[in-house]
Amino acid sequence: MAAESRRQDVPLAPLTTLGVGGNARWLVPWRDVAELRAGLAFAAAEGLPWWLLGGGSNVIIADAGLPGVVLQPAGTALRTVTADGQTRTVSADAGLGWDALVAWSVAEGLGGIECLSGIPGLVGSAPIQNIGAYGQEVAEVITAVEVLDTRDGSARSFSAAECGFGYRDSVFKRAPGRWIATRVSLCLRAAATPCRKYAQVAEALPIPPPPGAIGLLQVRQTVLALRRAKGMVVDPADPDSRSVGSFFVNPIVAPAVAEAVRLRLAAGGAMPAWPVGDQLKLSAAWLIEHSGLRRGFGDGPVGLSAKHTLALVNRGGATAADVLAFAAQVVTHVEAASGVRLEREPVLLGF
């Protein structure tokens, strides 16, 4: 991509789903490793810091903007690497829209990511926090992640095991700024039986669900409907989708802590919890609601979504400072009520 594609003083808020943040001094798109190296070299030559911005669906950009070089993946190629009748391994550029990949896989009758429909952002971001929803995680299908090491400009490929995937975690997330994903390879199942792990998805499907593209499409449509009902599908016509999706990570705690929370907030009654090794994962949305904060809470430019308590919504005219102040209010309230401190999921840029 020619140097002429660089743009100066670019507003970044429109490039994010939350719609806050200042300008980038430089916005530099890149399609491949060579162009990414050129973008990093440009930043070094100008003596400027750099940031990576994908689909802007999991970031909060500072109101002062990013006074350096913002690198944005622009490659969208998708190709089949291997196929044997039972599986097909595909390789996608980092700049391809994640949901575009899911829609293509469903149309091809390839299973493995159908429950990840409607998740915004780009393919290159998927491995960073091991995106997951409705019974699937991308770690289950990733075979390799091609990256650039920003320390020395070398390119390498991480196997799935080397990615160190965990719940919303990876080796890339644990070393922020070092690795930039350029391509992701996934092994998808041909003529697959659709995933029915999540109760609401299973209830919407016939028994047995049809294999292949028809069943996968039914799962995709069900997941999109579930996400849309929660304001979790980016839609300009839906003000509740002006968010980063789930703002807080579901906390993982010791069983004793979970029991204490159950006694405090559910009076000893039922509380959603899922085993993760020898610990339990709690529902951040449940904690918020049972701490006394309801959907639509907040009377300023930022509030809880009217559809889902886990989303913080820019109601119009909000700043990044407004978002973080409101998030801190939620965290303090939930911790006082439950004893559990919620952790932020979106990444801060420029703070």
Contact 181, 94 (CB under 8 A): yes
Find all residues with CB under 8 Å of 237, minimum gap 6, and list them: none
Angle subtended by helix axes 255-265 and 320-338, to nearest 10: 90
Amino acid at 22: G
The verdict on whether 345 is a catalytic residue reads yes
CA nearest to 246, candidates 95, 57, 100: 57
**Cα distance between residue 131 and residue 184, in whole Å:** 13
The verdict on whether 25 is a catalytic residue reads no
- Which is catalytic among the residues 108, 140, 259, 345? 345
> Is residue 104 classed exposed, middle or buried when 0-12, 13-18 and 19+ CB atoms within 10 A define those classes?
middle
- Which is catalytic among the residues 31, 88, 168, 295? 168
| DSSP collapsed to 3 states, the chain | CCHHHCEEEEECHHHCCCCCCCEEEEEEEECCHHHHHHHHHHHHHHCCCEEECCCCCCEEECCCCEEEEEEEECCCCEEEEEECCCEEEEEEECCCEHHHHHHHHHHCCEECCHHHCCCCCEHHHCCCCCCEECCEEHHHCEEEEEEEECCCCCEEEEECHHHCCECCECCCCCCCCCEEEEEEEEEEEECCCCCCCCHHHHHCCCCCCCCHHHHHHHHHHHHHHHHHHCCCCCCCCCHHHCCCCCCECCCEECHHHHHHHHHHHCCCCCCCEEEECCEEEECHHHHHHHCCCCCCCCCCCEEECCCCCCCEEECCCCCHHHHHHHHHHHHHHHHHHHCCCCCECCEEECC
The verdict on whether 246 is a catalytic residue reads yes
- Which is catalytic among the residues 105, 243, 246, 291? 246
Catalytic residues: 168, 246, 345
